[in-house]
Amino acid sequence: MKKRIEDLKILENKRLNEEFFVLKLKSDQTFEKILPGQFAEVRVDGSPTTFLRRPISIYDVDYDENTLYLLFKIAGDGTLKISELKAGENLNLVYPLGNSFTVGNVKRVLLIGGGTGVAPMLILGKYLKNEFKITPEFLLGYRSKELIIEKDKFNSLGTVYITTEDGSEGHKGLVTHHPVLQENNEDIDQIYCCGPEPMMKAVSGIAKDNNIPCEVSMENLMGCGIGACLCCVVDTYDEGNVITCTQGPVFNSNRLKWQI
Amino acid sequence: MADLAIRIGKIKFKNPVMTASGTFGFGPEFDDFIDVSRIGAVLVKGITGSERQGNPYPRMAETASGMLNTVGLQNKGIDYFVEKIYPEIIKYDTEIIVNVNGGTIEEYCMVAEKCNKLERINAIELNISCPNVTQGGMIFGTHCPSTIAVTDAVRKSFNKTLIVKLSPNVTDIVEFAQAVEGCGADAVSLINTLLGMAIDAKTHRSKLSTITGGLSGPAVKPIALRMVWQVANAVKIPVIGIGGIMNTNDAIEFFLAGASAVQIGTANFINPAVTIEIIDGINRYLNNKGFSSIHNLIGALEV
Ligand SMILES: Cc1cc2nc3c(=O)[nH]c(=O)nc-3n(C[C@H](O)[C@H](O)[C@H](O)COP(=O)(O)OP(=O)(O)OC[C@H]3O[C@@H](n4cnc5c(N)ncnc54)[C@H](O)[C@@H]3O)c2cc1C
Ligand SMILES: Cc1cc2nc3c(=O)[nH]c(=O)nc-3n(C[C@H](O)[C@H](O)[C@H](O)COP(=O)(O)O)c2cc1C
Ligand code: FES
């Protein structure tokens, strides 16, 4: 849909656990269509050290209520300020931005998320289920049990595998250690992944070794989110530096040179 | 409705609000948010003779009231612009100004000559002040004999309106403004970004891939205003004010200091509709003050 700049009303700013928050935002207008993988650039008012907007993925959309959800954690001053916002206040968004995950002729799909990277996986899971009648399998990685995000929402869409680093729930270790990725992966047609860069790199490696197509969602630093500043580039084999905020954030992982 | 029109070189602009090069893409990036044709002029992203990949990521760092960038003139080159971008953006009913860059005088002239042939390009902005490239760029803008050499050469390659964009990274910007005026520039625009740095205390590394970068945003506004005021008092050609303009009041300050027009840069990142808001804001301001024209404001600083 067309991008817009809009003040949305905060209906709820809920702390899920020690680390994660969910914002529920209401628009006065209807949403035509928000695609999985798209994000919003959030303006942070009243934080003197936060000058630019902050990119946050769209976590969920309710087209009947005209509400959308953002999942975030406190990373610094900007997200700290967002965490302090109260119901009834407004939040200014530029949205929806970026491309989206693509769905080909696939049957078995694995959606891998780590930390706030689980955000685009929820909306993607819903999209796969509602528009393609595909039951998604989620592989979600957390540090420990207490940090697990809205389990019911994911469970209602498909199978959920959990890994925790301390072993307090699910499989102990990182997502890349989980059997679904290591052993039972023969008939996986597509992997989608969002999380910290080392995790996405490792997952892409496994996907490549097993000839499974893999799409990742990059979290590059962004100046504008709309293709105007060229600050957010990612280096690719086929096209050199491409603009993450408009030609991404979702990329076929084989295109990426994975710098750093 | 106050009269917002201004004249620079051979061009009459419908209003004095322009976009700053490198902060507005080519225009279509903003189509969803605003009617780009309402802007006084669109300055497109800096263009070089051939394709450039720009600098490696990370290319930006947020700083107090501003940002550093080191994009390094990533662009697909003048021929791509002429063939693919120009035909699309002439849909806009406003002036399109090409920001011309090069590593050598020959490259600057080659880009300028190709622009000279484009019917809808009535002006170019010669960028001799990019701090983020190792070849050309700011070297031409911080050494007066080089400034004169490149401006002279481009003047001969381009017979329409020539704007020269000045670097603030010099001791006396007036000297450079007068030098380009002497070469036949029709206007000067200032300022480009200020060379700066940001270091990550945790990792002991620069936050930018090229270590240094260009500072923009409200942090540079007082310096930009001072330079515009100094230059406007020292040259006869029009001055285009740039640097940290976030809203109408900021723009008014630049007119008072002597700018005939303003360019809006970094503010577009935070508010993609800011240019239109400033055009409407200037109009309201003039009406409230009972001024009939923007010319009532230009250089009206009381001292
Ligand atoms: C397309 C996209 C989608 C995103 N989706 C989400 C989301 O759904 N939920 C969420 O919580 N976060 C998300 N992020 C990351 C989020 O934008 C940053 O956490 C946020 O900008 C931090 O702002 P801050 O002011 O709180 O912290 P800052 O003070 O700006 O930064 C704190 C620390 O985090 C680092 N940092 C900041 N931004 C990034 C980044 N983009 N990549 C790597 N390191 C960074 C800084 O270098 C610094 O060390 C997304 C980023 C992108 C580009
Ligand atoms: C990301 C970015 C890219 C820029 N690219 C160019 C460029 O290609 N050519 C140029 O002349 N100036 C470029 N500039 C400088 C701006 O046009 C402007 O002079 C400067 O940012 C100061 O204005 P501001 O504070 O309003 O942004 C760039 C600035 C930024 C922030
Ligand atoms: S963030 Fe500005 S171009 Fe992507």
Whether A233 and B74 lie within 8 Å, measured CB to CB? yes
The ligand 1 atom at the shortest distance from the C-alpha of residue A20 is 11
Q: Are residues A33 and A74 in the same domain?
A: yes
CA of A229 to the centre of ligand 3 (A): 5
Please write the tens of the pLDDT for every residue from B233-267.
999 999 999 999 999 999 999 999 999 999 999 99
pLDDT-derived band at A259 (thresholds 50, 70, 90) equals low
Q: Is A98 in the pocket of ligand 3 (CB under 6 A)?
A: no
Sketch out chain B's domains with CATH numbers: 6-55+70-194+217-296 (3.20.20.70)
- ipTM of this predicted structure: 0.95
Q: Supply the DSSP string of chain B, one letter for each residue.
A: --B--EEETTEEESSSEEEPTTSSTTSGGGTTTS-GGGSSEEEPPPB-SS-B--PPSP-EEEETTEEEE-----B--HHHIIIIIHHHHTTSSSEEEEEE--SSHHHHHHHHHHHHT-TT--EEEEE---TT-SSSTHHHHSSHHHHHHHHHHHHHH--SEEEEEPPS-SS-HHHHHHHHHHTT-SEEEE--PEEEE-EETTTTEESSTTSEEEEESGGGHHHHHHHHHHHHTT-SS-EEEESS--SHHHHHHHHHHT-SEEEE-THHHH-TTHHHHHHHHHHHHHHHHT-SBGGGTTT----
Q: What percent of chain B has pLDDT over 90?
A: 95
CATH number at residue A66: 2.40.30.10
Give the confidence band of A182 by pLDDT, cuts at 50, 70, 90.
confident
A–B CB contacts, 8 A cutoff, strictly below = 91
Distance from CA of A46 to the nearest CA of B (A): 13
**Based on the domain organization, do A168 and A86 belong to the same domain?**
no
Instruction: Name the residue among B64, B65, B269 with its Cβ closest to that of A223.
Output: B269
Q: What is the pLDDT of residue A93?
A: 98
- Binding site membership of A228 for ligand 3 (Cβ less than 6 Å): yes
Average of per-residue pLDDT values in chain A = 95
Provide the whole-model pTM.
0.97
Q: Can you give the CATH number for the domain in which A154 is found? A: 3.40.50.80
pLDDT reading at A260 higher than 50: no
Average pLDDT of the residues in B258-278: 98
Pick from A51, A95, A243, A247 the residue to mutate for probing ligand 3's pocket: most ligand atoms within 8 Å of its CB: A243
The model's pLDDT over B114-132, given as tens digits with 9 standing for 90+, comes to: 999 999 999 999 999 877 7
A52 with A142, same domain: the answer is no
Final residue of a structural domain among A97, A131, A148: A97
> The domain containing residue A234 runs over which residues?
109-255
